[in-house]
Amino acid sequence: MKKLFLMILFALPIVGLAQKERDENNKEILIFAEQMPEFPGGTAALYQYLSKNIRYPLDMRKQKVEAKVIATFVVDAKGRIKNIEVVNKVPQQFADETVRVLKRMPVWIPGKQNGKPVNVKYTLPVDFRLN
């Protein structure tokens, strides 16, 4: 029984990785690719970019409101950011600021599947925390 449970447990992520979506032009969007998209310079550079460019909304700062914004977007086959969405419920000021900064991100290194650039959906948490 344990072996069967472990096999099922390991099989679930693989099934989930094969999921695909389609954009408004019916182009395929992968949820996971063999090579995931990458911000120029890697993850550390991504978080450095966010920390330099995100401005804490003044009224939220005055009210001492904090939030974690979960944003999704598509890194297309040319590395451009498209279809930015905030998928959780947060004060609108945080959502707007997150979208503003994501729209201005530089071109990413696109994800690849079978050696070819592909559209990949990416999820990024953005924390707004006061010190």
Shortest CA distance to 102 belongs to which of 42, 44, 39? 39
CATH number of the domain at 2-128, out of 3.30.2420.10, 2.102.10.10, 3.40.1180.10, 3.20.20.70? 3.30.2420.10
Compute the distance between CA of residue 87 and CA of residue 125 in angstroms, rounded to an integer.
10
Give the pLDDT confidence score for residue 99 in this predicted structure.
98
110 closest CA partner among 96, 99, 120, 123: 120
Residue-by-residue pLDDT tens, the chain, 131 positions? 444 333 333 333 333 444 556 665 657 899 999 999 999 999 999 999 999 999 999 999 999 999 999 999 999 999 999 999 999 999 999 999 999 999 999 999 999 999 999 999 999 999 999 98
Structure tokens at 79: 């590395």
State residue 24's pLDDT score. 59
